[in-house]
């Protein structure tokens, strides 16, 4: 992932403008995407996008999520973490979100950046996982020094996974300080055996003269850890620097030390030559994506390189081109194996950015699927998904998710759009949560398996309308659509109650549901539920008399 110059100071994320060209959409295509209100695109000069507000949760300002669907589009909940570009306006903070098909929030995290928000399985149960912590790396490539939070389906903490063996140096050009935990921002994958695969960075002294850098230089070692979630034991550790004989420095496409803003001169300006941005299990080893190597690399269970598929020259493979479709890729994200027959073949998906700031939007980004013949060491392009009506050039970030029924979801990372393709690779859904280059989401998913009953109670609040009526607003952050479909309201004309009878029933109308209180109501309470069954009650609150 490359983020706009971004530095976390305490809990507040500061961002700075830079002259680096960010991702771009096809500039000559001025059509709104999709159904964007005219006002939406006229704010290109200032970081701005429409957001929603709620009476019951005044701190929540989730973006308007615009969704255009064709028949056959998948159902489910969108899960993503909008990160505004620079500067961050206080009313549009970074956040983690689950939203429904109408763009209503289902769950809104506390404000602040959550990386890699995802629904995963742990011990046979669905859990919500995300990264939080400090972000460093300054101008060129962001990396994190943080922890992975694992929540159960009531949003209670199961585990706060940390990594700190005392050897880490942040290599953070903005803050050279120790962090409590050094899990990086790019990966947090729970395996079927109950372990967590994460990435980490360590600023490491290295002789960079072979690539034109200083003899007493520094680089960012790109590390992979697999942590047993029951014991915290490290099951696997891999260091790119310990494999420089297999993956030499001159394979890096990252700006070389002498041409880079982060130039390898010292511990706080290390050269980020490798950058692992995804790791998944493959057979009894792993497959990683190195953004700066333009490579998908298979490791065996000892961490030895089994093969290196390079997006420029093939590496250990020939990029055959029988289908006439290019197999080249670069700056890619989310390299994920599909079918694998060990030692014979593997099919992989990736989000092929094919761009970095200095590529000036040369190659469109695609969802690339490659068939790797491991015996003959050849590669064939199975498909290269792109929306023909909205070509994107995505410098950083992105996800390629497989959905049921051979549907595919491309989350365009730095371009705040999601595109769903059906089994014939036709576009059946487009969604947008902001203006290009003003907000991004590193990874985004559409999930059908998140059912959650929050451990906290619903919230209610009243508003005195000018008409004299009192509006009751009700919400239950985090409760999924299967958990409640309506509200039961209990009113009393006596501030001391009792609240025993249901006075009104109203159906759920999104994140926040409104009702008009009966005249004279002085005490009110509401319960979220299904049918006649109350699932959870709010506190009871007093209704202020209108000031006359
Ligand atoms: C950009 O969009 C225009 C208008 O839709 C289209 O004619 C053109 O082919 C597109 N260019 C690319 C590179 O996709
Ligand atoms: C668009 O902007 C105009 C002028 O600022 C405003 O009156 C109008 O309500 C806006 N429309 C929408 C849909 O936000
Ligand atoms: C998780 O651990 C980090 C590092 O020790 C700490 O800063 C953070 O407060 C912890 N979070 C929770 C929810 O316990
Ligand atoms: C650094 O590496 C270069 C070759 O790239 C070598 O000539 C030089 O001796 C090395 N310096 C040190 C201090 O090892
Ligand atoms: C694992 O580490 C966490 C902190 O990250 C700690 O709270 C927990 O007790 C540890 N578990 C074991 C089994 O040591
Ligand atoms: C580290 O290197 C950078 C870039 O060359 C330089 O600006 C900075 O002053 C150096 N820091 C120290 C402590 O030498
Ligand atoms: C593979 O890794 C093991 C353990 O680190 C090492 O002993 C062995 O030499 C490696 N094999 C190759 C071919 O590099
Ligand atoms: C594959 O074929 C296409 C169309 O002929 C060509 O544009 C592309 O460069 C080729 N890719 C490779 C890797 O040879
Ligand atoms: C490798 O090539 C041979 C000869 O063309 C073919 O029979 C074999 O199926 C290929 N291997 C794979 C894994 O496709
Ligand atoms: C992008 O534009 C810059 C400035 O014009 C130029 O130096 C650079 O070579 C271009 N990059 C590519 C890949 O065309
Ligand atoms: C007050 O609310 C009631 C019930 O929703 C509605 O019928 C009535 O028109 C409202 N009164 C005013 C003045 O808006
Ligand atoms: C609910 O009522 C509040 C207070 O009047 C208002 O601000 C809000 O827009 C209403 N929400 C909906 C969905 O109508």
pLDDT category at 137 given cuts 50, 70, 90 is low
Mean pLDDT of 56-77: 95
Whether pLDDT at 8 is above 60: no
Mean pLDDT (the chain, rounded): 87
Pocket test for ligand 2, best of 39, 40, 42 (most atoms within 8 A of CB): 39
Cβ atoms within 10 Å of 94's Cβ, excluding its own:
21
Whether pLDDT at 127 is above 90: yes
Whether pLDDT at 119 is above 50: yes
Lowest mean per-residue pLDDT among 105-119, 220-234, 351-365, 512-526: 351-365
Q: Which atom of ligand 9 is nearest to the CA of 376?
A: 1
CB 528 within 8 A of CB 456: no
pLDDT category at 38 given cuts 50, 70, 90 is very low
Which residues have a Cβ under 8 Å from the Cβ of 344 and sit 6 or more positions away? 373, 374, 375
Kindly list the domain boundaries of the chain, sorted by start residue.
Answer: 1-112+397-452, 119-274, 459-543
Helix (H) or strand (E) holding 35: none
Mean pLDDT of 106-120: 95
- 234 in ligand 5 pocket by Cβ < 6 Å? no
* Burial class (CB within 10 angstroms; exposed 0-12, middle 13-18, buried 19+) of 461: middle
Q: What is the DSSP letter of 222?
A: E
pTM of the model: 0.87
- Winning range, highest mean pLDDT, from 59-68, 90-99, 484-493: 484-493
pLDDT category at 268 given cuts 50, 70, 90 is confident
Please name the residue whose Cα sits nearest to atom 3 of ligand 1. 29
Lowest mean per-residue pLDDT among 20-34, 96-110, 193-207, 327-341: 20-34
Please name the residue whose Cα sits nearest to atom 11 of ligand 3. 160
CA distance 69 to 504: 34
- 16 in ligand 10 pocket by Cβ < 6 Å? no
Higher pLDDT, 547 or 47: 547
What residues does ligand 4 touch, defined as CB less than 6 Å away?
A: 207, 209-210, 215
Please name the residue whose Cα sits nearest to atom 8 of ligand 11. 469
Which residues have a Cβ under 8 Å from the Cβ of 547 and sit 6 or more positions away? none
Is the C-alpha dihedral spanning 310, 81, 262, 361 positive or negative?
positive
CA of 304 relative to ligand 7 center, distance in Å: 6
Q: How much is the pLDDT for 40?
A: 35
What residues does ligand 9 touch, defined as CB less than 6 Å away?
A: 344-345, 373, 375-376
Q: What are phi and psi of 258, to 5 degrees?
A: -80, -10
CA of 515 relative to ligand 12 center, distance in Å: 9
- 363 in ligand 1 pocket by Cβ < 6 Å? no
Nearest residue to 444 (alpha-carbon basis) of 81, 133, 183, 175: 81
CA distance 279 to 451: 27
Mean pLDDT of 63-75: 94
pLDDT category at 31 given cuts 50, 70, 90 is very low
Q: What is the pLDDT of residues 449-500, one digit of tens each?
A: 999 999 999 999 999 999 999 999 999 999 999 999 999 999 999 999 899 9
CA of 471 relative to ligand 12 center, distance in Å: 8
Pocket test for ligand 8, best of 310, 320, 324 (most atoms within 8 A of CB): 324
**Cα 268–Cα 269–Cα 274 angle in degrees, nearest 5:** 115
Q: What is the pLDDT of residues 394-432, one digit of tens each?
A: 888 999 999 999 999 999 998 899 999 999 999 999 999
Q: What is the number of H-type helices and E-type strands within the chain?
A: 1, 40
- Winning range, highest mean pLDDT, from 49-58, 97-106, 248-257: 97-106
Q: What is the pLDDT of residues 242-261, one digit of tens each?
A: 999 999 999 998 876 656 65
Nearest residue to 332 (alpha-carbon basis) of 361, 309, 365: 365
Considering only the top CATH level, what class is 459-543? Answer: mainly beta
CA distance 46 to 424: 39
CA distance 241 to 255: 18
- 501 in ligand 1 pocket by Cβ < 6 Å? no
| Percentage of residues in the chain having pLDDT higher than 70 | 85
| Percentage of residues in the chain having pLDDT higher than 90 | 70
Q: What DSSP string runs through 5-22?
A: SEEEETTEEEE---SS--
CA of 326 relative to ligand 10 center, distance in Å: 22
Pocket test for ligand 12, best of 462, 512, 546 (most atoms within 8 A of CB): 512
- 324 in ligand 8 pocket by Cβ < 6 Å? yes
Which residues have a Cβ under 8 Å from the Cβ of 101 and sit 6 or more positions away? 67, 69, 75, 76, 77, 78
């Amino acid at each position: 992932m490359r983020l706009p110059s971004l530095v976390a100071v305490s809990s507040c994320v500061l961002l700075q403008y830079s002259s680096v060209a960010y991702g771009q959409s096809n500039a000559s295509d001025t059509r709104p995407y999709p159904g964007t209100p005219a006002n939406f695109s006229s704010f290109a000069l200032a970081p701005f996008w429409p957001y929603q507000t709620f009476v019951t949760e005044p701190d929540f300002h989730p973006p308007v999520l615009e969704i255009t669907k064709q028949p056959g589009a998948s159902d489910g909940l969108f899960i993503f973490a909008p990160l505004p570009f620079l500067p961050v306006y206080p009313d549009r903070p970074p956040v983690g979100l689950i939203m429904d098909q109408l763009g209503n929030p289902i769950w809104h995290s506390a404000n602040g950046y959550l990386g890699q928000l995802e629904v995963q399985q742990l011990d046979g149960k669905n859990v919500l996982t995300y990264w939080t912590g400090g972000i460093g790396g300054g101008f060129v490539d962001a990396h994190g020094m943080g922890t992975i939070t694992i929540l159960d389906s009531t949003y209670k903490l199961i585990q706060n996974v940390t990594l700190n063996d005392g050897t880490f140096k942040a290599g953070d050009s903005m803050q050279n300080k120790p962090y409590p935990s050094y899990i990086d921002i790019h990966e947090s994958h729970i395996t079927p055996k109950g372990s967590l695969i994460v990435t980490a960075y360590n600023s490491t002294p290295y002789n960079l003269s072979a690539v034109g850098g200083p003899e007493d230089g520094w680089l960012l070692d790109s590390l992979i850890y697999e942590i047993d979630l029951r014991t915290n034991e490290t099951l696997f550790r891999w260091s790119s620097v310990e494999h420089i004989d297999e993956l030499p420095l001159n394979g890096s496409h990252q700006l070389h030390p002498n041409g880079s803003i982060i130039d390898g001169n010292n511990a706080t300006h290390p050269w980020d030559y490798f950058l692992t941005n995804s790791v998944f299990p493959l057979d009894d080893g792993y497959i990683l994506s190195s953004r700066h190597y333009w490579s998908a690399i298979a490791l065996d269970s000892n961490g030895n390189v089994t093969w290196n598929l390079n997006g420029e020259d093939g590496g250990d493979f020939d990029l055959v081109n029988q289908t006439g479709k290019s197999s080249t890729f670069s700056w890619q994200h989310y390299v994920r194996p599909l079918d694998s027959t060990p030692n014979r073949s593997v099919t992989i998906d990736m989000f092929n950015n094919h761009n970095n700031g200095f590529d000036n939007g040369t190659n469109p980004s695609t969802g690339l699927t490659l068939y790797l013949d491991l015996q003959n060491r050849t590669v064939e392009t199975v498909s290269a998904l792109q929306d023909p009506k909205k070509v994107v050039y995505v410098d950083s970030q992105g996800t390629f998710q497989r959905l049921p029924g051979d549907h595919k979801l491309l989350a365009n990372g730095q371009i705040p759009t999601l595109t769903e393709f059906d089994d014939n690779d036709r576009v059946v859904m487009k969604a947008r949560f902001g203006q290009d280059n003003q907000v991004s989401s590193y990874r985004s998913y559409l999930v059908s398996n998140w059912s959650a009953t929050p451990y906290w109670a619903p919230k209610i609040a009243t508003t005195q309308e000018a008409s004299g009526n009192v509006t009751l607003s009700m919400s239950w952050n985090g409760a999924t659509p299967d958990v409640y479909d309506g509200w039961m309201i209990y009113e009393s004309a006596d501030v001391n109650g009792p609240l025993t009878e249901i006075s009104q029933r109203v159906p759920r109308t999104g994140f926040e549901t409104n009702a008009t209180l009966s005249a004279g109501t002085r005490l009110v309470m509401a319960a979220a539920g299904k049918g006649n069954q109350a699932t959870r009650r709010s506190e009871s609150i007093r209704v202020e008399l209108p000031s006359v």
